[in-house]
Every structure is written in C-alpha cells, then in structure tokens.
Chain A
Amino acid sequence: MLGWEYPPHISGGLGTACQGLTTALASRGIEIDFLLPRLYGEEDAPHMHLLGASGSEAIERVPVKTWQSQESPLQEAIANEPSLSTDPILTAAAQASEGAASARIRTIQVPAMLKPYLDPSAYLELLAAGGFDEAAVARLAHELPGPPHRQPEHAHLLGDDLWEWSTEPTTEAHYGHDLFAEVARYAAAATRRVRGRKYDIVHAHDWMTFPASIEIAARANAPLITHVHSLEYDRAAEGADREIVAVERQGLERAKRVIAVSYYTRSLINRVHGTSLDKISVVHNGVYTRATVEAYTQQRKSTGPVVLFLGRVTFQKGPEYFVQAAARVLQHVPNAKFVMAGSGDMLPRMKAMVESLGIEDAFRFPGFVRGADLERTFSTADVYVMPSVSEPFGIAPLEAMSYDRPVIVSKQSGVSEVLRNALKVDFWDVDKMASQIVALLELPELRRVIVDLAREEIRHIHWDAAAEKLIPIYQSVSAA
C-alpha cells in the first residue's frame, strides 16, 4: 500500500484514512507493506539513519506500535461493561482489532518532499523553506539517486529508464526542482525500495502515489487499486492543474479497480475522467470529508431543519415513536421537516398516522434510499434519530455520525452502550425524544460539541466497516 503519514505525525484526513484503513485491514489478516514519503527535518533522526544506512537493500520495518496502543472504543466498552463481552458482534469486532495487526504492517519510509495535497507552488515554498536539515541532505547524498531533470511527460516514468536512474548513484543530493519532478523521483526511489518483493495487490492513495504504484504493480505483476479520496477537481474546481489531472487519469486508467470514498466522488470520477462506473467501488471512509457533506448540503432544497429516520419501517425500528416525537417538535419548531427513509410493513400505517396528526406537510417518505441518495439524505439532515424498540447493535447511527450529524439513539440499542457523544432516550419516551430534537435544532453549541467529539469517537469503529468492504474487493481483483 502506498500511503501517507505515519503516527504520531498525522496532519490531515488522508493520513488518518490510511492509518485507520491499514490497521483495520491488518487486524483481518491482510499483510501490508506500507510505503510512505517522509519529509526530512520533521521527525526523529534514528529512522533516517536506518534508512540511509545501506543503499538499495535497505527496507525499514517498523512495527507500528503506536497504532495498536490505543484501545478501540469497542474494547474499552467491553472492559467497562463485562456483560457486553457476550455480545457476538462487539466481541468479534474487538478481537479483530487486537494483537495480530502489529505484526502485519511494515512501514517502508522513503525520503521525499511530499505531503498530501501539495500543489506546484506550495511545493516550491516547502522546498525553499528547507523543510529538512542539512545533515539529512548530506546523508541522502550517498544513498539516494536524484532525478536528472524533470521530464516533460509522466509516461516515461513507467519505462525502464526509470529503473536505470533509480539504481544509478548520484553525487547530487536534492529534491525535485518542482512538484512533478519530486513525484517522479519518489516513484523511482519507492520502486527501488521494494524491488524483488512479491505483492498480491498494490493499493495507492491519491494522485501523488500513482506513478510509484503503477511502476511497482507492473514490476510485481500485481493488480493495481487506486483509491480516490479527493480529486484535483474537488480541490481546485475550474482552476485544476492540468498536469495533476493527467497523473490522476493515468492512475485511474492503469488501475484494475478504483475505489472512491463516496458515491459523490464516484460520479465525479466518472464525469471528470470518464472512468466507467462499473470499475469504481465505493468504500466509505470512517469519517467523511467535509467537502462531500457540504457539496450535498448545498443541494438541499427544504428551508426548515431536517430530522431523519432511516431504516426499515418495521415495529422493531420504532417508527411510530419518531412520528409522535415529530408532532411534539412541530409545536416548538414549526418549520421542521421530517424524513422517514426506508420501506417496511409499517410504512402505510406511519403515513396514516402522520395524516391523522395533521402533520403531513412536514413529512417526506422517500422510500428505500441507497448510493448517492443515501449520502444526500444523511448529509442534508440536521439530526438523525434511531428510536429502535430493540436493536442488537445498530450501525446506522455510526454512519450518520460519519457525516458529522448529531444522533439520538434509543437506550434499547447496543450502540447506545458504546457511544458517549450521542443523545440517548428510551424509545417510548417521546417527550424526551422531542426535547432532544428541539435542543439539537435550536442550540448550535450542542450540535458542535457533539459532532466534534463524536468524530473522534467513531473513528476506530468505522474503519472496521471500511475494511470489511475492502476485503471482498481485494479478493475479486487478485482472483481475476
């Protein structure tokens, strides 16, 4: 896997995503060599000594202790509440994230002046600022090849000449004189680092690792998966850098399968790059990028605040309590809108109940939603309510939280025992449920504190779900 960042130096969403995903995959038995660019001067020197020590054979293997030292919320919950240890869902999830993982991740760090979402001018600033120390550069001088010059096109990176200059020692130590030269140099250096190793899959995150991953995949004769967290188009819209777009496109074309972090991103990849939708799988991140949520929020039509029920409309899910709470909320927040998304045997009765309460103008019943509609539904809600009468666990609140939505969950759900940053209510206590909805709609501070803390809280839990989706994709591309 060609990733970004390494704890404790996690600077942004992409690093968090790589960390979460890798840990969750490793805990499910996937062995991972995790290649990542390292900026000099920002971290402890000992790593770098190792790296610089012995030229092309040096592969640094760092057991990723820090990733394992944090107990997942599930493990914590079980520790605090022994009765949970009999819950098969919880224990399976907790066991999966234990132990084994550390042995399965090796990090291989390649010096490079790269960090996520650099653009050409930011790169030059970083270079000028000298984000590395002189001693490090001196060490580099004997160990790493510098790129000859920036080449006018990227395609040449895939040719054998790349290999030639990557093995050829050079006396001139430097980073690429511009961003693309540095990406090319990184590709060469990274390829050299893993020469001769066998891989079943090469998995790369966002455009800067694409050239390296294409080369490594070709040499290892392994299928390439490119994982798109954001597109240049997302970041810069019409001002997109054409060369970055070209690197992106090449990665998408060479990939056996493309992974998008949302249906939104999937359709954007399709529109911008013409990649076939069949080739793109969606694996939701543990935490949504704010940009995705905002993109949907802008499409929002309704004027009042929106309260969401999303799930099967059956007795077990408690839809009638949602309707009863809605009627009470409307007396205090008359412009509130309620969405009951889902289908089920109680749907006709719910529609009748809404009518008899005279609140049909405030209700929408979009039926079963999936894909982009599901994302839009979550993104445009102000509050998510899960009033289940009985719920062994309940993953939907976690999903809502991953869209930065505050959630209300019934105390009769397993998830309410795990979550700290959610409002909790007995499913039958519709007065309190209404009060909580009103509070979330009227008090921005309440929303803000819950959402901020919940984002941290669910990070671990949700990566497990992402890994569960990713593994079948791995199996399908490596079997084909």
Chain B
Amino acid sequence: MPSVCFYFEVHQPYRLKPYGALQVGQDHEYFDSKLNGQVFRKVADKCYLPANESMLRLIERTDGRFRISYAVTGVAIEQMKQYAPEVMNSFVRLAKTGAVEFIAETYYHSLAALYDKDEYKAQIDLEVDLIRSEFGQTPRVFRNTELIYDDEIGQFISDLGFDAILIEGADDILDWRSPNFVYRVPGRETRLLTKNYRLSDDIAFRFSNRAWAEFPLTADKFAKWVHQHSGAGDVINLFMDYETFGEHQWRETGIFDFLEHLPDLLFTHPHWDILTPGQVIERYPALGDLSFHRTVSWADEARDISAWRGNAMQQRALAEIYALGTDVKRRNNSHLLALWRRLQTSDHFYYMATKSASDAEVHDYFSPYEGPYDAFIHYMNVLKDLNLSVLGPLEKRIPA
C-alpha cells in the first residue's frame, strides 16, 4: 500500500537593514524590524493563515486520513508570536489534530552543520525544546537547513538519536535507485526519506508556469501522476516550502483549489494513503544504505551548497561569523548569543549569491536588497560594528 508524504518548511529570517559603513560604531540595531514585520504579516495573510485553514479543513473532512508534517524554524516562531500571533494559534490547533507531525531542524535555519558542530547541536536542541513546549511533540525526524546533507551530517544526526532525516533525492546520489523508497544512513538504523523533486517541484515551482507543457496543473492530473507509481515505490515524498501556497504561487493561480481537491483525488485509488514521515518509517523497511559522496541541498540547479558559499564574499562572511563563536560564548550573555545566532541564518548568505540565469531570479526574488553586493556590504558592516562596539570592549579587559 503506497503512500504520499507531505512535508512543508516554514521559515522567515530576521533580515538586516541596509547598514552602511557610516553606521558602524553608531548604530547597534541591525535588523529591519519594520520590514520583517511587514513581510511576516504579508506572508501570514497570503499563506500561513489561509493555508492552515485549508489543512485543518482537509484533516477534518478526511477524518485525519490527510496528514502533513512541518518544520517551523525558531526564528519563524519568534516572529510569529511578535507579528502574527493568530498564525501561532492556528499551528497549535493543527498540532492538536493528531494528523500533523513536527520535524526538527536548527532553530536559526543556519549552516552550523558545516562550520561548528557544537553550535549545530545547540541549535537543534533549542528547536526540539521549542517544538516540545509550543506543540507538545518531541520530534523524531530531522531535516537540515535547506536539506543540506552528506554522510558526515547523517552520522552526526544519527548520533543525536533521530529516527529519520529528510533529504533531497539528487539524481547523482540516487544513481539507478528510485527516490520512492526508504533508505538508511550507512551503517546506522537512521532512515533517509528522499524528496521526489520532480513531483515536488511540479507544485512548488512549475504550478503557475504558463511555458510549462503540463500547464495548467490540475489536482486530477497530479493524482494520476502519483498513481502511476503504483507497484514501483513505497512512498512519494513531496517536500516544499510552505510559502508555496499563496506566496510563491499566488491564490489567483488556483493553488488553494489544487490543494483542496488533491487529497480526495489521491484517495480515489484504493491502495494509496497519506502518511507523516514518522509513520512512513514505521511501515516501510529501508531498502539499503544511501551514501553521499558530496554535500547536497535542495537549492538551485546545482543542488549543492553553492547557493550559500559559492563565491568569495559568502565564504568570507561565513568564516567571520563562525570565527566569532568563542568570543561570543565567553561573554555569557544570552542577548548577544541570540544576536550572533540570528546572524547565522542561511538567508543572509543566500542573498550574497552571484549566480546567473534562472538561479539568479530565485535569489533575487527572496532578497530584500538591491543585489548580492549590497547584501554583502550590509552584513560585513554589521559584523564590523559587532566586533567594534560589542566584542571590542570585552577584548580590552582581557590581558594580552
């Protein structure tokens, strides 16, 4: 009996304000709270509130046979409480349906996995605690920032005791294998659920693309594509940004109608059902080990980490923020620690990407700045001020 597994990522960064060189030493407020509030409320109205309503309705209508999973970053939950508490309430209602599973990730949606493993663990612990306190669930399944994954990360997450990890079903890694089975971290019991990127991206990226041969995508058509996999797979993993519903794909595209009809159409085939990641690994055995010879993510054409550290600016910015870790922690100041961690959010580095063609369009879409150079300048000025105004005074007190 094959299954469909939905997972949605909910994240909003703390965007930096345009921070010029002349502000260094003067201005210690780094984030654009006006913009962040505006963006959050806009996305709440266009996506979070109506999409949560749809999900609740679908769960009720199907008596909980429609099931979904979310990862909601800590920084998204903080902003939710601050800017749109009604969104927080609706997520809590979803959590109570019993048909919704919450997935763990890093609280700050950071790249700590690649730079600082202690910090990485600390941010995962923070997120797990948050999910537990806000939604009353203890996550068993993990997804790393932007599905960044390799064998080393797999071992690390396995050591932390998670039962499964969500990853990108990259062609070169899967090779001859299908993404529609459960795999295993080599030598471990930890399961790997691989995103079916063709079917996922049909919804997330291509849904409203009039140049696409399959446009318009109806729920009926999509359900048929899923059903074509009958007998040739255990689970179709549909992983995407939650903002797909109403924000990346506007309401006018018909995305909410699509969502409304999809579950019933999936259920028209008597063999198919819908499970959460935790249920998937209970039901389906792992087919074998899946080893990663490179670091994979779900971003850009390259499906690698070049979206965040593909150029010299990104590498410098990342190296500098993580180099501050020791200093920051020595200070033993929770505000400073949170500030440093907010600066680790991967979006800051994503805005600095200098990619071409279609990748650039996606980066530009998300960026609040005029381009990668401004993003880098603002970020480095903030670090300069942090060093000068906050960490500097500490240095003076430490004898050479």
CA A331 to CA B21, docked complex, whole Å: 10
- Most chain A C-beta atoms within 10 Å of own C-beta, residue among B18, B20, B373: B373
For A328, the chain B residues whose CB sits under 8 A away are 22
A445-B381 CB under 8 A given contacts A424-B370, A439-B21: no
Q: Which of A15-23, A226-234, A268-276, A430-438 contacts B (4 or more CB under 8 A)?
A: A430-438
Contact of A434 among B20, B370, B374 (CB under 8 A): B20
For A435, the chain B residues whose CB sits under 8 A away are 20-22, 377, 381
For A332, the chain B residues whose CB sits under 8 A away are 21-22, 24
Closest residue of B by beta carbon distance from A448: B312
CA A439 to CA B18, docked complex, whole Å: 13
Q: Check B22–A439 contact: CB distance below 8 A.
A: no
A439-B313 CB under 8 A given contacts A424-B370, A432-B20, A449-B354: no
Q: Is A135 an interface residue (CB 8 A)?
A: no
Contact of A439 among B311, B370, B381 (CB under 8 A): B381
Q: How far is the CB of B309 from chain A (nearest CB, A)?
A: 12
For B370, the chain A residues whose CB sits under 8 A away are 424
**Count of inter-chain pairs, beta carbons less than 8 A:** 54
Q: Is B221 an interface residue (CB 8 A)?
A: no
For chain B, give the interface size range: 20 to 34
For B377, the chain A residues whose CB sits under 8 A away are 435-436, 439, 443, 446
Q: Check B21–A449 contact: CB distance below 8 A.
A: no
Q: Is A450 an interface residue (CB 8 A)?
A: yes
For B354, the chain A residues whose CB sits under 8 A away are 421, 449, 453
Q: Is B315 an interface residue (CB 8 A)?
A: yes
Contact with B along A323-354 (1 / 0, CB 8 A): 00000100110000000000000000000000
CA A423 to CA B313, docked complex, whole Å: 15
Q: Check A443–B376 contact: CB distance below 8 A.
A: yes
Closest residue of A by beta carbon distance from B376: A446
Contact with A along B360-383 (1 / 0, CB 8 A): 000000000011111011001100
Q: Is B316 an interface residue (CB 8 A)?
A: yes
CA A84 to CA B24, docked complex, whole Å: 38
Q: Check A446–B20 contact: CB distance below 8 A.
A: no
For B374, the chain A residues whose CB sits under 8 A away are 423
Q: How far is the CB of A431 from chain B (nearest CB, A)?
A: 5
Closest residue of B by beta carbon distance from A423: B373
Q: Check B373–A445 contact: CB distance below 8 A.
A: no
For B311, the chain A residues whose CB sits under 8 A away are 445, 449
Q: Check A445–B315 contact: CB distance below 8 A.
A: yes
Q: How far is the CB of B25 from chain A (nearest CB, A)?
A: 9
CA A439 to CA B22, docked complex, whole Å: 11
A431-B312 CB under 8 A given contacts A436-B377, A439-B380, A443-B376: no
CA A332 to CA B371, docked complex, whole Å: 24
Q: Check A445–B316 contact: CB distance below 8 A.
A: yes
CA A450 to CA B381, docked complex, whole Å: 18
Contact of B380 among A431, A443, A450 (CB under 8 A): A443
For A446, the chain B residues whose CB sits under 8 A away are 313, 373, 376-377
8 Å CB interface, B1-33 against A: 18, 20-22, 24
8 Å CB interface, A439-463 against B: 439, 442-443, 445-446, 448-450, 453
Closest residue of A by beta carbon distance from B377: A439
Contact with B along A174-217 (1 / 0, CB 8 A): 00000000000000000000000000000000000000000000
Closest residue of A by beta carbon distance from B25: A332
CA A439 to CA B376, docked complex, whole Å: 9
For B381, the chain A residues whose CB sits under 8 A away are 435, 439
Q: Check B316–A434 contact: CB distance below 8 A.
A: no
Q: Check B22–A449 contact: CB distance below 8 A.
A: no
- Most chain A C-beta atoms within 10 Å of own C-beta, residue among B18, B21, B311: B21
Contact with A along B303-347 (1 / 0, CB 8 A): 000000001110110000000000000000000000000000000
For A442, the chain B residues whose CB sits under 8 A away are 380
For B372, the chain A residues whose CB sits under 8 A away are 449
CA A449 to CA B24, docked complex, whole Å: 23
For B380, the chain A residues whose CB sits under 8 A away are 439, 442-443
Contact of A431 among B22, B24, B315 (CB under 8 A): B22
Interface on A for B, CB 8 Å cutoff?
Answer: 328, 331-332, 420-421, 423-424, 431-432, 434-436, 438-439, 442-443, 445-446, 448-450, 453
| 9 A-B pairs closest in CB distance | A435-B20, A438-B21, A435-B21, A445-B312, A439-B377, A445-B316, A445-B313, A449-B311, A431-B22
Could you list some 7 contacts between A and B, CB below 8 A?
A: A332-B22, A432-B20, A438-B21, A439-B21, A439-B376, A443-B313, A445-B311
